Structure 1
């Protein structure tokens, strides 16, 4: 009987232990003009969110401009140092962990991955400016005890042309911030990032093309994931790091899985079912994998009652059927 009791206790401990290991069930928490309030966070708790990405912004005039403008009185509160601190404090009070994810916005919405300087002088100015930008928010992350810090988002040309700069920058960030580090690589960039060994997670903005159908079914979408999933797992094995989807999401529109990265004002028809199917497929393919740490939905607006809805074809799942899909999977994991 004693032996049976010991076996039972061991099995119970294993089962309990497996329940403790949960995914990063995250959202990209959009900054606003105002302070975040408890009502904004109550909705995250109802969604079973465990992590939130807080995103301060720096601004650049055009793709070859080297100066980053950030933390100014002209920005929205949530995009500034003070706002980031306030958001993190409120999230932590509600036991939601935080990834600080500074991002760059280029005028007219130019893709940051194409940002490239014309000469050595401008590269040096950009490097100095970016260091000030990123170390400002690394210090915020340390002061606020944020759990993860993202050192950059979709900066392919900058990374590829200046690899030495990034190596020394990571060292400077480590001197300021003692938590976990990642980088948010674009879906077609992550395999060429040269510094994964210096970070704690492989971060990927997961806008992989999966289907060219108007409303692809979940099974078809899962099949479309197979080559991408294999490649992601190979990167995880190569670097001995878990993968995080630093962003993932689909618009509630026709052909949503064809080019999931599209952020233009396209007038493709609203398609709530396509968004549901795409969300279901990504959860089914990844949330049970031990090499996969979790992800951050793009994107979630604090003022829930005004966000999304049945006539909206944008990324947010708020007030759409996809919201319930997220809730069910986040509750399970």
Structure 2
């Protein structure tokens, strides 16, 4: 009897450990974020601008305040100034929040940095320790400003940075402290948005609620790949993301995703150059269809925000080769997928 009792106790202890371990794991959401990235505008968002978002069954919107580095030799951020467009600063963000909340849309505030001449933010690095400290001080002020706004307005998700790999990689102690500072004033979910090619190199995913990726993965060298070719192009990337989710026990979020409506759009999906073109509306729609089929049914995947959506009802259209899906065949694909995963 004593032996049986010891075995039983041992089994119970193991079971208890398993239960407790499971309770500490991050929740992997089954409901999806069907989001859009709203382009900051010089003008105020109006109620009629929101109707097309609702019509495509979006349930979330990313708002994008901007900060600028005017001179790379003096690395500091300029933000929330009257010289910026209304939608890029505090007044515009707060105005948009009020209107979007009336439609029961979930919100994410996703700060972006613009470097002089449009240089890629992931390559940014300060030249000296003194320059790093100056830049970090203004970045902290920028992030905490919008974190407070997020808390005051019950915003569901806050993004602590977008495509800043060198900064994140070279200054880990700063980011650890920044996350703690944000947590002290903001009680919602936190994410960081890393570029597709560096998402598996970020060390602080365990401190956040989501693994965020701007998902411009190259999928095909062809001018207009088939559905099968696009699906095949996703497999290595998808496996990496699933493994990353398992490693950190965090859901993956596409903080940005999308394609231009042109030939070769899947070769370098991040490429926004106006020197390349060749309108192909069907490829944009086809690529989104396969993306939804590959990811939205996965329980380790949280959903995402399509790049990008303009306030104007005349945005996009058949002669437009940019990222927006508005007034293009891709819009119907998005609407259908959102309807399938509506909540």
TM-score range, shorter chain: over 0.9
Tell me the distance in 2 between the aligned counterparts of 1:55 and 1:180. Answer: 17
Contact 1:63/1:110, CA 8 A, preserved across alignment: no
Residue 319 (str. 1) matches residue 315 (str. 2):
no
Helix, strand or coil: the match of 1:304? Answer: coil
Equivalent pair of 1:150/1:182 in contact (CA under 8 Å): yes
> SS of the residue aligned with 2:192?
strand
With 263-272 and 253-262 compared, the bigger mean Cα shift is at: 263-272
Contact 2:191/2:211 (CA < 8 Å) preserved in 1? Answer: yes
Contact 1:153 1:184 in 2 (8 A): yes
Other-structure match for 1:226: 235
Match of 1:259 among 249, 265, 268: 268
For 1:160-309, what aligned pairs fall within 5 Å after superposition?
160-305=169-314, 307-309=315-317
Give the conservation status (yes or no) of the 8 Å contact 2:33–2:60: yes
Structure 2 residue aligned with 1:9: none
CA deviation map 1:213-236 (0-9, x unaligned):
000111210111000000000000
Look up the match of 2:13.
none
Tell me: CA distance 1:32–1:180, structure 2 relative to 1, closer, same or farther (3 Å).
same
CA distance in 2, matches of 1:188, 1:62: 27
Contact 2:30 2:302 in 1 (8 A): no
In 2, Cα distance between the equivalents of 1:267 and 1:65?
33
Contact kept in structure 1, 2:49 and 2:313, CA below 8 Å = yes
The equivalences for 1:73-152 within 5 A come to 73-152=82-161
TM-score using structure 2 length: 0.90
| Alpha-carbon separation, structure 1, partners of 2:228 and 2:302 | 23
Count of residue pairs the alignment pairs up = 313
Q: 1:66 aligned to 57, 63, 75, which one?
A: 75
Aligned to 1:295, the other structure's residue is in SS state strand
Moved more, 321-330 or 58-67: 58-67
Distance 2:105 2:30 in 1: 16
Task: Check conservation: 1:103, 1:152, Cα contact below 8 A.
Answer: yes
Deviation of 1:22 after TM superposition, in Å, equals 2.3
Does the 8 Å contact 1:36/1:86 carry over to 2?
yes
Unmatched runs of 5 consecutive residues or more in structure 2:
1-28
8 Å contact 1:202–1:244 — kept in the other structure? yes
The answer to whether the Cα contact below 8 Å between 1:35 and 1:86 also exists between their aligned partners in 2 is: yes
Task: Determine the C-alpha separation between the residues in 2 that align with 1:41 and 1:59.
Answer: 28
Q: Is the Cα contact below 8 Å between 1:36 and 1:87 reproduced in 2?
A: yes
Aligned 8 A contact 1:63 1:114 in 2 = no
| Structure 2: distance between partners of 1:312 and 1:214 | 17
Question: Greater relative contact order: 1 or 2 (C-alpha under 8 angstroms, separation 6 or more)?
Answer: 2
TM-superposed CA distance for 1:106, in Å, is 0.9
Deviations 1:229-276 (A, max 9, x none): 000000000000000000000000110000000011123201111111
Distance (whole Å) between structure 2 residues aligned to residue 22 and residue 139 of structure 1: 27
Does structure 2 retain, via aligned residues, the 8 Å contact 1:63–1:112? Answer: no
Specify the structure having the higher radius of gyration (Cα): 2
Deviation, structure 1 residue 89: 1.3
Q: Does 1:47 align with 2:56?
A: yes
Q: Once superposed, what is the RMSD of the aligned Cα atoms?
A: 1.1
Contact 2:70-2:78 within 8 A present in 1 as well? no
